[in-house]
Amino acid sequence: MKPHPLLPVVLLALSLTISGCTGNSRLEETPSSPAESLTNQNTTKQDTTNQEQNSTGAEKSNTNKNSSQVTVKTWSADNNETYTDQGTLLYRWNSRVPEVIIPDKPQSQYLINRSIRENDQVTRLSSFISDIMDIPPASAAGTPGNNYLFTYDYQVLRNDGTILSLRQNGTDIRKNDRQDTFTYLSSYDVEKGKKITLTAISDDPEALKLALAQAAAGQSSAGGSNATLLTHLMTSGLNQFALLKDGILLSPEQNADNAESAAGEETLIPYGQIEKLFNDYGKQLMTAAQKSGDEAIETKEEPEYIFPESSTSCLTGGDLLEADPATLRLARNEIYARHGRKFDAADLQNYFNSKSWYQPETDPSDFKEDSLNEVEKKNLNLIKTAENQLPGKEISNDGVTLKADKDYLLDLDGDGNCESVRWSSTEGKEDPDEKNFGLYINGKYQNSIPENIRGNINLTALDLNKKDKEIELHLSVYQESDSIFSFSFYRYQNGSLKLIGDLAGPVCNGNGKLFRQNGMRAEGDGSLTVSTDTPFSGSSPQFGCYFTDLFFSYKDGKLTEVPQEIYFKKDYDLVTNAFLHNNPGQYYVVSHPFPVTTTMEGDTPAFSVSAGETVCPIGWALKDGHTFVLVMNEAGDCGWVKETAGDSDPDTAYYLEVPGWG
Structure confidence by residue, pLDDT tens digits, 492-519 = 998 899 999 999 878 888 888 888 888 8
Cα 124 to Cα 45, 78, 131, 153, 599: the distances in Å are 20, 14, 11, 14, 41
Residues 542 and 638 in one domain: no
pLDDT reading at 283 higher than 90: yes
Per-residue pLDDT at 133: 66
Do 216 and 118 share a structural domain?
Answer: yes
Distance CA 239, CA 168 (A): 14
> Which backbone phi and psi does 239 adopt, to 5 degrees?
-90, -10
Q: With contact defined as beta carbons under 8 Å apart, do 452 and 428 qualify?
A: yes
Q: What's the structural domain count of the chain?
A: 3
Amino acid at 477: V
Per-residue confidence band for 579, with pLDDT thresholds at 50, 70 and 90:
confident
Q: What is the mean pLDDT of residues 399-414?
A: 91
The three-class DSSP label of residue 521 is strand
| Domain identity same for 83 and 118 | yes
Identify residue 64 by its one-letter amino acid code: N
Inform me whether the pLDDT recorded for 48 exceeds 50.
Answer: no
Residue 246 and residue 147 in one domain: yes
The crossing angle, in degrees rounded to 10, of helices 34-42 and 325-337 is: 90
Are 163 and 268 in a shared domain? yes
Closest by alpha carbon to 657, among 593, 614, 596? 614
224-275 confidence digits (pLDDT tens): 445 565 665 666 666 789 999 999 998 866 544 444 434 457 889 999 999 9
- Degrees to nearest 5, angle at CA 521 with 518 and 524: 165
Least confident of 309-313, 502-506, 526-530, 539-543: 539-543
Please give the pLDDT value at position 232: 59
Answer whether 0.85 is exceeded by the pTM: no
Are 580 and 543 part of one and the same domain? Answer: no
- Compute the mean pLDDT over every residue in the chain, rounded to the nearest whole number: 79
Please give the residue that has the higher pLDDT: either 319 or 409. Answer: 409
Residue 164 pLDDT grade (very low, low, confident, very high; cuts 50, 70, 90):
very high
Q: Do 487 and 621 reside in the same domain of the chain?
A: no
What integer pLDDT is reported at residue 335 of this predicted model?
A: 96
Q: Do 622 and 562 share a structural domain?
A: no
Which CATH number does the domain housing residue 630 bear? Answer: 2.30.30
| Residues 599 and 528 occupy one common structural domain | no
Of 474, 452, 476, give the one whose Cα is nearest residue 463.
Answer: 474
- Predicted confidence band of residue 322 (pLDDT cuts 50, 70, 90): confident
Residue 177 identity (one-letter amino acid): D
Query: In this structure, are 228 and 286 located in the same domain?
Result: yes
Residue where one domain finishes, among candidates 290, 316, 339? 290
Residue 139 pLDDT > 80: no
pLDDT at 387 over 60: yes
- Domain CATH code at residue 77: 3.30.565.40
Co-location of 498 and 443 in the same domain: yes
Q: Using one digit for the tens of pLDDT, what is the confidence trace for 53-84?
A: 444 333 333 333 345 789 998 888 888 888 87
Domain span at 619: 572-642
For the residues 552-574, what does the mean pLDDT come to?
A: 88
Asked if 100 and 203 sit in the same domain, the reply is: yes
Q: Write the CB contacts of 447 (distance below 8 Å, at least 6 apart in sequence).
A: none
DSSP SS3 for 560:
strand
Tell me how crowded residue 281 is: count the other CB atoms within 10 A of its CB: 15
Q: Where on the phi/psi map is residue 566: left (φ > 0), alpha (ψ -120 to 50), or beta?
A: beta
Sequence-ordered list of residues with C-beta below 8 angstroms from that of 602, at least 6 positions apart, any chain? none
Q: What pLDDT sits at residue 51?
A: 39
Q: How many residues does the chain have?
A: 662
